[in-house]
Each structure stands twice: as C-alpha cells, then as structure tokens.
Amino acid sequence: MSRRERGGTLVLCVDRDDDIGEKAGLQTPVVGRAASLSAATKLGLADAEDSDVNAIFAAVRIYEWLKGEGNGAGADDVEIALVAGEKNLGVEADRKVGRELDKVLSKTGAETAILVSDGAEDESILPILQSRVKIDAVRRVVVRQSEPLESSFYVVKKLLEDPKFAHTFLTPLGLIFISLFISLLVGQPGWAVGLIFGFVGIYLLLKSFGLENLMMEFLETVRQSIYSGKISLVTYICAVVLLLAGTSQGITEYTKLPTAESGERILLGLVYFARGAVGWYVGAALAPLVGKMLNMLIERERIVRQWAILFSVVASGLIVWGGSECIILLSEGNYPMGYQFLFFSLLGATVLSLVGVRISLYLKERSTMSKGEGKES
C-alpha cells in the first residue's frame, strides 16, 4: 500500500513572505526532516534574527514528537514540509502557498496537518490551507519578548491597509497635524485649536452628507489632468488662488464691521465676510467648470448641461451678494435700498437660471436631432 493510500499527518511550516528563498536562496517546497533542518540552518546563517528559523525548528520538534513513542505513531505516518509564498505578499503569495501545498499533499498523501507559523500574518492563509487539508492544530512560534509587539504591529498594519478605517480615522488625524503645521509655520501656535476645529468640523459636515470623498476625487481628477495634459489643471490652480483671495477679501470686509452686540455681531460678521468673498468664491467654482468646457471643446464633445450649471453658479452667487447687501443696508436703517437690492438680485438670479436651462435644453434638442439624422442616413 502506498503512502498516499495510508494517509497520515503533515507538520506544515509556512513562510508567507518567502524569507527562505530571498535570504537563504532555497527552493520550496522543502520536504523531510533533514531538508528542513538544513533549511533552518542556512536561513539562520543568513539572518539569525529571522523568526522563521524558530518556526522551522519548532516544526521539526513537533515532527519528532509525533514520530516517537509519545504519540504511538509510526515513522511513515508523519511527514514535515516547508512551503513559502512571495516577498511582496498579496494574492500571488497566497496562490503560490496553495500550489506548493498541493505538491506536498500529492507526494506525501497526508490527510491531516498541523500548522506551525511565526505569527498572525502566516496564519491569515489558514482558510487556503483548510480548503486542501484538514488542520488538526495550529502552533504559533514567536520569541517571547516580541510576541505582543509582532501581533500589535500586524493588527495596526492591517488596519492601515483597510480603506474604510483609513478614510474614517486617518483623515481627521491628518487634518489635525496639518492644522498644527500651519499654525507653527506662520508663528501663531494659538491658531492651532481654531484650525483643528475648523478642519474637523468641515470633515464631519462633509461626512454627514456622504461627501467625505470629495477631496480624494478632486485630487484624482487633478492627477489625471496632469498625466493627460488637459487645460483643466490650470483652471484648478486658478480655483485655489481665487479661493484664497476670496477668503482674504472676506476677512478684510469683516474688519470693517461696526460695533454691535455679541449676537448681532456674529450674524453681521458672516454677512460682511460673505459680501467680500462671494464674488471670488463664484470665480473659484466656475474655474474648474470652464476648464472642463474648454477640454470638451478641444476634444469636440457637445457641451449641454454644463451651461445650466454655469448660470446656476452665477445666479447663486448673485443671491448671496444681494442678500448680504440687503442685510447690511437694513442694519444701517436704509430699508428701501435694502429691499431693492434683494428684489433685483432675486430677479436677476431667476433670469440667469432660466437662461442657462433654456440654453441646455436647446443644445440637448439639437444633439438629439443630429443623432436621429445620423441614424436615418
């Protein structure tokens, strides 16, 4: 009867990042006690601090115990093997471990296995092993003083690789460090608290509306513009400059705020800031849109709904400007002029919105007619 027919137990040592190949220059799989001891010795000479050396020796010890009288099993019932993945880990490393395990099982005919590893990273491929052979036990071999450190490092590493964790927790942490950096750079450490609350507040507001990925999408768009050589990159830079200029102008207008009570001062402060910044902010919002429209013209694409968006942005800015002027005039007691500003700003915004929608509808109809004529021809 062959060994395949008899079955048996396999003591399996897994080196997922292929230290045995990278450092000792050995080919895997390695099968047998003598070959395993030789592999451990060569790896130890190459890197005495590698934890895989301990794992291989532990696997040999378990193999000898299973063969001996303590287990009551014969020598032919137990075999030892070492399989490895790849240096870069990932899917290819796991697939390589699976292929090598298939070879070992084909050669030894083992029906059960005892996994010996040097930490949680190797044990992460346990489902792959269980899909091929029954795992009776798992033995983790880690140097005692480094076991908590290695396990903690592995957990932190996996969390950092998780996109959900990174977006949820690392983004606010990054904003906090950026706030500290800006405050120290300008020599105003006292600004740090305000900047931190401001950045985190904006992040939480965006997250509450499900828009926390806006910045990532913006950066991805900028990256694509750089590689593709599109003109929109210039317009994005213009948008940032206009945004900074608008903020500066809004702060300048805020300094013109007359004396008032605390509650009224907060409202008027926002109004003065809006009046000074709204025009610049509208320009900042229009710059990327204009860049996209120019790219579409260059690529000979039809510009349809972008016209409605453009006019809507201008109309929204007009409403904010007219409303802020109205509130300021009303606070000064100039009621007729304040109401006139509000009325004409609302009227102008409505007209602009209708013009944008009409242009978009007209171009959409033209586009539909052109497609229809193309099909008929």
The strand ranges marked E within the chain are 9-15, 30-31, 78-84, 112-117, 134-140
pTM: 0.46
Q: For the chain, what are the domain ranges?
A: 3-153, 162-212, 213-376
| 18 φψ region: left (φ > 0), alpha (ψ -120 to 50), beta (else) | left
What backbone phi and psi angles, to 5 degrees, belong to 116? -120, 125
Instruction: Report the alpha-carbon distance of residue 331 to residue 340 in Å, rounded.
Output: 15
Paired with 11 in beta bridges are: 80, 114
- The token pair at 85 is 């993945």
In tens digits, what is the pLDDT along the chain, a chain of 377 residues?
344 445 688 888 888 878 888 888 888 888 888 988 888 888 888 887 777 888 888 888 888 888 875 454 455 588 889 988 887 777 788 888 888 888 888 888 888 888 888 765 656 778 888 888 888 888 877 655 455 555 566 666 666 666 666 666 777 777 777 777 777 776 777 666 766 776 677 667 666 666 556 566 666 666 666 555 567 678 888 888 888 888 888 888 878 777 656 556 777 888 888 888 889 999 988 888 888 888 788 777 777 778 888 898 899 999 999 888 898 888 888 888 888 888 999 999 999 889 888 888 887 787 777 666 555 55
Q: Are 100 and 86 in contact (CB under 8 A)?
A: no
- The token pair at 208 is 């509450």
